[in-house]
Chain A
Amino acid sequence: MDMFNAIVQVLDSTIRLSVPLLLACLAGLYSERAGIFDIGLEGKMLVGAFAGASAAAVFHSALIGLGTAILISVAFALVHGFASITHRGNQIVSGVAINFIAAGSTIILGQAWFQQGGRTPALQPGERFEAIIWPGAEAIRDVPIIGPIYAELISGHSILVYFAFAMVPFTWWVLFRTRFGLRMRAVGENPAAVDTAGISVAWLRYRALICTGILTGVAGAYLSMVQNGGFVKDMTAGKGYIALAALIFAKWKPVNAMFACLLFGFLDAASIRLQGSPLPLVGKVPAQFMQALPYVLTVILLAGFIGKAIPPRAGGVPYVKER
């Protein structure tokens, strides 16, 4: 039974840890499907986290915090769009620049506004998103097997967690069942086909980037307003890059993205759980090894051992009609 409870606990933290990855990964899916590489997921999450925690602390409202997070993150996405769509700049350079600006500006503004060494004030109840306890969760907690699963895994998460998982089927539906999705997928494969079909390539790509900005904003808000009670400098800690790895691992498909993020979240949860305690057979596994695993798996995938990851064909290439 102890073993079972331990597993449930690891799975519970798997869910918590994979939510920011999942949101960022779906965010990346929108832009990359539209043919814009976005290495700036990390930076947009970070400004989202900072803006969310700051606004929530100042206005004493979680919702205002979330709205601000989304707004600022979308603004950064539009900057990326301006550089790479309107001015046909290099998408990687623009993304890296956004990450640098995000890392620097959040610390400077945080210190200037709150004088807490780059932190934002600790959020009070009502300023963060609380866990939602589902009906009957406490009552059946003690029922074997089903009890802990319902109470720990299904119930007891914040609204943003449910939002993240709801975004998976929603994104699938948008991609494959709507006009916007059809056009977005097309513009990531062959923008000239979209152009000659009478659709504006630039406007379409901007809209995809706005979707990206919304999702990274929510991911940032999750970090600073759910997982943590405020903003801490560099709190994204490379999650944006892991999300990109997950996106490749998922071959740019929403449902795969969920499984990839759950896998990477699980590795993270397991490494925390296993810290210091030896595993049977292999002995003590260094935490660094577990943290590196997502990247190692992605490299193995890219090397072609687990099928082939074919990115959207027009990805990374600015659409230029006249040489």
Chain B
Amino acid sequence: MAQAAIELIGINKSFGAVRANRDINLEVARGTIHGIVGENGAGKSTLMSILYGFYQADSGEIRVGGKPVSIHTSNDAIALGIGMVHQHFMLVDNFTVLENVILGAESDALLKSSITKARSELDRLEREYGLEVDPDAVIEELPVGLQQRVEILKALYRGAEILILDEPTGVLTPAEADHLFRILKQLKDQGKTIVLITHKLREIMAITDTVSVMRQGTMVATRTTKETTVGELAELMVGRRVLLRVEKGQSEAGAVKLSVKNLTVKDQRGVTMVDNVSFDVRGGEIVGIAGVAGNGQSELLEAISGIRHAVSGEVMLDGKPIDLTGKADPGELRDRGLAHVPEDRHHVGLVLAFEENENSILGYHDDERYLKGPFLDVDAIMADAKDKIEKYDIRPANPRLKTANFSGGNQQKIVLAREMEQDPGVLIVGQPTRGVDVGAIEFIHKRLIAMRDQGKAVLVVSVELDEIRSLSDRILVMFAGRVVGERGPDATEGELGLLMAGVEHQEAAE
């Protein structure tokens, strides 16, 4: 066994109440490519940012080259030969490539000599690794692929021996990704150590020597890449949870209520997040969208609910189109019977500083029921809030309490009560039970099924496979922005897991 380049021992890190890393142990051998996989929010970036000195661990030990070290700032990490390409690039957008490269690595107080030195050094690195980029180009005018190159050049310019790349291929085209992997192999051949974070299992299989799997802040396993399979990694990554099946009858699907055709959505950086997606949701059925987080589900939901601009395609609600320019009037969509429970209840679904009763009518506050002339009818709102609190068993049963003081599960019930009690024809729900305690999960699932039984069309997006399987009448699997498969509710976890990992249909059948 080769000598360890990095050892992380018992690393813990919390952000407020979130425990991003719990007792993490990790050993990376010198001169290897080590993959770290895990869903979004598993704590991968946090762990590597601790190694890079960007965050401070609450407890734990770091050893580099066998020696215990203390890394308080990124400067310490750089001095130890650690370089990192962050998930969100750390570049100054209106600086040139050259300026970004020398920032923090200037040779003296005046820039002149640093610039001359960096120019020739960049020239050498470019030739050696095929990392071509115009040193005088301004960052914001470069495509993301080239911006990433600048990040790699920054690390190499500082003499990095250990290079961490955080989800580097998320922003790359397949050809660019291949080029990147060639560079990484070349760096490895020169004895450098590489840590590659990704949630794309295919890449892990293609390029890494060893792979570690993280889930919900813990390190669940480390495997030699040759001795593992995509299936095993997918299972480790998604994790099995106690099956929580809610009783439900046969669905009686009716007319198409929501229809999505050839929908394509790009994010701010111009990366295609939803790629030509089409499907229908009928009244009386629950359609579940499964997938590893970050494969376009969020963007799909936002486009359908009129929040995000779609590049092309159409979405029909009861046969009439929805404005996809991202400027749709949410009030109008509500009037047309589309209710939306957003994924992020803290920032989109609720105003945490408001009282419960205020949140329970938010967005419907101009409905006649809640108005008395031009004013809000406080009595009606309170009566309505109390009614919802009772029906949805929201605790504590106090409509005057500030929403921030409710637990996650109760907050989610406030949003669900608001949207469901408006009797919408179509309900779309993002992550119905994220951060919700087990008791509330069952309640929420029952409510969703009750909606279905009333003949409503329900679209559920969730990263919890169990949830998708127990709720859905039809399951669509999203991978890399596309719907890669449709299955019935009896699909096995393994089958769905492989689809979620992007493994082709045929392979999945084997």
Contacts and interface: CB of A to CB of B under 8 A. Distances in A.
Given A179-B108, A179-B111, A182-B106, A195 B93 contact: no
A322 B55 contact: yes
Contacts of B16: 322-323
Nearest to B77: A198
Given A198-B78, A199-B104, A186 B86 contact: no
A189 B100 CA distance: 12
B93 A200 contact: no
A182 B112 contact: no
Contacts of A199: 75, 103-104
A183 interface: yes
Contacts of A178: 109-111
Nearest to A179: B106
B111 A192 contact: no
A197 B73 contact: no
Interface string A149-183: 00000000000000000000000000001111111
A190 interface: yes
Contacts of A193: 90-92, 100, 103
Which size class do A's interface residues fall under? Answer: 20 to 34
Interface in B66-109: 73-78, 84, 86, 90-95, 99-100, 102-106, 108-109
A315 B76 CA distance: 27
Interface in B375-434: none
B114 interface: yes
Contacts of B55: 321-322
A320 to B, nearest CB: 11
A193 B91 CA distance: 5
Given A177-B111, A180-B109, A197 B104 contact: yes
B397 to A, nearest CB: 30
Contacts of A183: 103-104
Given A186-B92, A186-B95, A194 B54 contact: no
Interface residues of B, number: 34
Contact of A196 (B90, B102, B110): B90
B54 A195 contact: yes
Do most interface residues of chain A lie in helix, strand or loop, or is the interface mixed?
A: helix
Contacts of B110: 177-179
A190 B90 contact: yes
A196 B92 contact: no
A181 B95 CA distance: 12
A233 interface: no
B479 interface: no
Q: Which of B90, B102, B114 has most chain A Cβ within 10 Å?
A: B90
A182 B102 contact: yes
Interface string A114-125: 000000000000
Contacts of B104: 183, 194, 197-199
Nearest to B101: A197
B84 A196 contact: yes
B168 to A, nearest CB: 16
Nearest to A310: B94
Contacts of B75: 198-199
Contacts of A180: 109
Given A177-B111, A179-B110, A194 B93 contact: no
A207 interface: no
Contacts of A192: 90
A178 B106 CA distance: 10
Interface string A299-322: 000000000000001000000011
Interface in B5-21: 15-16
B93 A197 contact: no
A189 B95 contact: yes
A169 B73 CA distance: 35
Contacts of B53: 198
A195 B92 CA distance: 12
Nearest to A314: B92
Nearest to A312: B94
A197 B103 contact: yes
A46 B50 CA distance: 45
B163 to A, nearest CB: 14
B90 A179 contact: no
Contacts of B109: 178-180
A313 B112 contact: no
Contacts of A200: 73
A190 B75 CA distance: 17
A4 B76 CA distance: 65
Contacts of A195: 54, 73-74, 90
Contact of B74 (A181, A190, A198): A198
Nearest to B78: A198
A96 to B, nearest CB: 24
Given A177-B111, A182-B103, A198-B104, A189 B92 contact: yes
B74 A196 contact: yes
Contact of A186 (B77, B84, B103, B105): B103
A189 B103 contact: no
Contacts of B114: 179
A190 B73 contact: no
Nearest to B86: A196
Nearest to A173: B110
B480 to A, nearest CB: 28
Interface in B286-302: none
B105 A197 contact: yes
A186 B90 CA distance: 11
B223 to A, nearest CB: 30
A193 B90 CA distance: 4
Contacts of B54: 195-196, 321
Contacts of A181: 111
Interface string A93-114: 0000000000000000000000
A127 B103 CA distance: 45
Nearest to A183: B103
B70 to A, nearest CB: 15
Contacts of B99: 182, 186
Given A179-B108, A183-B103, A198 B73 contact: yes
B15 A323 contact: yes
A114 B81 CA distance: 62
Contacts of B94: 189
Contacts of B105: 197
A313 B108 CA distance: 27
A194 B55 CA distance: 14
Nearest to B14: A322
Interface string B330-356: 000000000000000000000000000
A182 B95 CA distance: 9
A194 B75 CA distance: 10
Contacts of A189: 92-95
* B55, B92, B99, B112 pick with most chain A CB within 10 angstroms: B92
23 contacts: A178-B109, A179-B108, A179-B110, A180-B109, A182-B99, A182-B106, A182-B111, A183-B103, A183-B104, A185-B95, A186-B99, A189-B93, A189-B94, A190-B91, A194-B103, A194-B104, A195-B54, A196-B90, A197-B104, A198-B73, A198-B77, A199-B75, A313-B93
Smallest CB-CB A-B distances: 9 pairs: A197-B104, A198-B75, A193-B90, A196-B90, A179-B106, A198-B74, A186-B92, A189-B92, A198-B78
Given A196-B54, A322-B15, 9 more contacts: A179-B111, A185-B95, A186-B99, A186-B103, A190-B90, A190-B92, A195-B73, A196-B52, A322-B55
